């Protein structure tokens, strides 16, 4: 709760001080680490709408409404992330099986008294899983396109540090045709740790150093839309960091809003506010100076 209040104070302070310059040191930056969901990409429609539409397509008996799906997803996703972290990576569960159990839990919490046969559920789950592995599932956010295009001829190294399933690295990014912009990919299911842990940032840093062996931590800029996972996690590790405030974008949802923000040296409301941006276009401008 304390970290949530701190984040709110930061955003309020940011809104009152839009003219202040970023405090990130662009002259030092040799590599940029990026979050995926909410930073580079978003679902094309609300996840719970996709779940509800799939229930109608699959002809589930008494299918849950979108509001019921929203309630069910909120409960089930948090529960599954806590009991089987990193999309099953910690437990050695295949990503598809992790999602199968999660979607079953969503249905249960959305409509506890509903009776769904195994055959009906198999048909429903495949529809959901196909949707999020198809072009209908995700889109690249406009300012992310601008950032990636602006760096297409740059010497800066770009990579991924993300609390996402392996499928995002191996299927979603290539499907969206943005994977070639990145030299390294650190995702929580592979690493078996998630942001804000030191371990996933360390894994990301080690992958980046394959390409730049003498790279230093403060020469890496991490950008993400989670105050706790991205900003505070990266700062504690020793990266430079920018917090991307997507609160005005209805397509972006904070899925892991229970994560506690770690402390780091020099953490203040003013310091966070100085490193908060509303668009990745601000990064493009900063890097062009």
Per-residue confidence band for 15, with pLDDT thresholds at 50, 70 and 90: very low
What pLDDT is recorded for position 25?
A: 83
What pLDDT is recorded for position 22?
A: 67
Q: What is the pTM of this model?
A: 0.91
Exposure string of 197-211, with b = 16+ CB inside 10 Å and e = fewer, is beebbbbbbebbbee
Yes or no: say if 141 and 38 are a contact pair by the CB < 8 Å rule: no
Per-residue confidence band for 18, with pLDDT thresholds at 50, 70 and 90: very low
The Cα–Cα gap between 70 and 111 comes to 11
Per-residue confidence band for 144, with pLDDT thresholds at 50, 70 and 90: very high
Q: How far is CA 224 from CA 48, 110, 203, 227, 264, in A?
A: 23, 30, 17, 8, 17
Which one, of 273, 223, 237, lies nearest residue 22 by Cα?
A: 273
Which one, of 233, 279, 280, 239, lies nearest residue 256 by Cα?
A: 233
The Cα–Cα gap between 180 and 199 comes to 25
What pLDDT is recorded for position 17?
A: 40
Q: How far is CA 269 from CA 46, 229, 272, 277, in A?
A: 31, 17, 5, 14
The Cα–Cα gap between 33 and 276 comes to 16
Instruction: List the structure tokens of 170.
Output: 């191996």
Yes or no: say if 251 and 137 are a contact pair by the CB < 8 Å rule: no
HEC profile of the chain: CHHHHHHHHHHHHHHCCCCCCCCCCCCCCCEEEECCECCCEEECCCHHHHHHHHHHHCCCCCCCCHHHHHHHHHHHHHHHHHHCCHHHCCCCCCHHHHHHHHHHHHHHHHCCCCCCCHHHHHHHHHHHHHHCCCCCCEEECHHHHHHHHHCCCCCCEEEEEECCCHHHHHHHHHHCCCHHHCCEEEEHHHHCCCCCCHHHHHHHHHHHHHHCCCCCHHHEEEEECCHHHHHHHHHHHCCEEEEECCCCCCCCCCCCCCCCCCCCCCCCHHHHHHCEECCCHHHHHHHHC
Query: Each residue of 171-221: pLDDT tens digit?
Result: 999 999 999 999 999 999 999 999 999 999 999 999 999 999 999 999 999
Instruction: List the structure tokens of 65.
Output: 């409404």
Query: Each residue of 213-237: pLDDT tens digit?
Result: 999 999 999 999 999 999 999 999 9
Of the two residues 15 and 168, the one the predictor is more confident about is: 168
What pLDDT is recorded for position 23?
A: 66
Span 270-288, average pLDDT: 95
Contacts of 117 (CB under 8 A, 6+ apart): none
Yes or no: say if 256 and 229 are a contact pair by the CB < 8 Å rule: yes
Query: Each residue of 36-86: pLDDT tens digit?
Result: 999 999 999 999 999 999 999 999 999 999 999 999 999 999 999 999 999
Query: Does position 158 have pLDDT exceeding 90, yes or no?
Result: yes
Contacts of 204 (CB under 8 A, 6+ apart): 33, 159, 160, 161, 184, 186
């Amino acid at each position: 709760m304390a970290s949530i209040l701190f984040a709110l104070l930061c955003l309020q302070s940011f809104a009152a001080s839009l003219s202040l310059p970023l405090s990130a040191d662009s002259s030092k930056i040799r590599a940029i680490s990026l979050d995926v969901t909410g930073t580079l990409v978003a679902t094309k429609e609300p996840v719970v709408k996709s779940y509800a539409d799939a229930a109608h397509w699959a002809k589930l008996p008494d299918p849950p409404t979108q509001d019921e799906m929203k309630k069910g997803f909120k409960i089930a996703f948090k529960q599954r992330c806590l009991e089987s972290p990193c999309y099953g990576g910690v437990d050695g569960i295949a990503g598809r099986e992790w999602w199968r159990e999660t979607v079953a839990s969503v249905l249960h919490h959305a409509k506890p008294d509903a009776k769904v046969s195994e055959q009906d559920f198999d048909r429903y789950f495949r529809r959901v899983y196909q949707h999020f592995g198809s072009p209908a599932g995700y889109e690249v956010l406009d300012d992310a396109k601008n950032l990636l295009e602006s760096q297409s001829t740059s010497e800066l190294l770009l990579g991924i540090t993300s609390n996402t399933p392996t499928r995002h690295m191996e299927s979603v990014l290539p499907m969206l045709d943005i994977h070639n912009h990145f030299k390294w990919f650190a995702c929580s299911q592979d690493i078996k740790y998630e942001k804000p842990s030191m371990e996933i940032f360390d894994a990301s840093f080690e992958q980046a150093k394959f390409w730049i062996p003498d790279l230093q931590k403060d020469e890496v800029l991490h950008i993400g839309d989670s105050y706790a996972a991205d900003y505070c996690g990266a700062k504690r590790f020793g990266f430079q960091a920018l917090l991307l405030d997507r609160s005005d974008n209805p397509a972006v949802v904070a899925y892991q809003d229970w994560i506690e923000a770690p402390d780091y040296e020099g953490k203040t409301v003013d310091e966070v506010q100085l490193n908060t941006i509303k668009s990745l276009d601000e990064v493009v401008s900063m890097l062009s100076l």
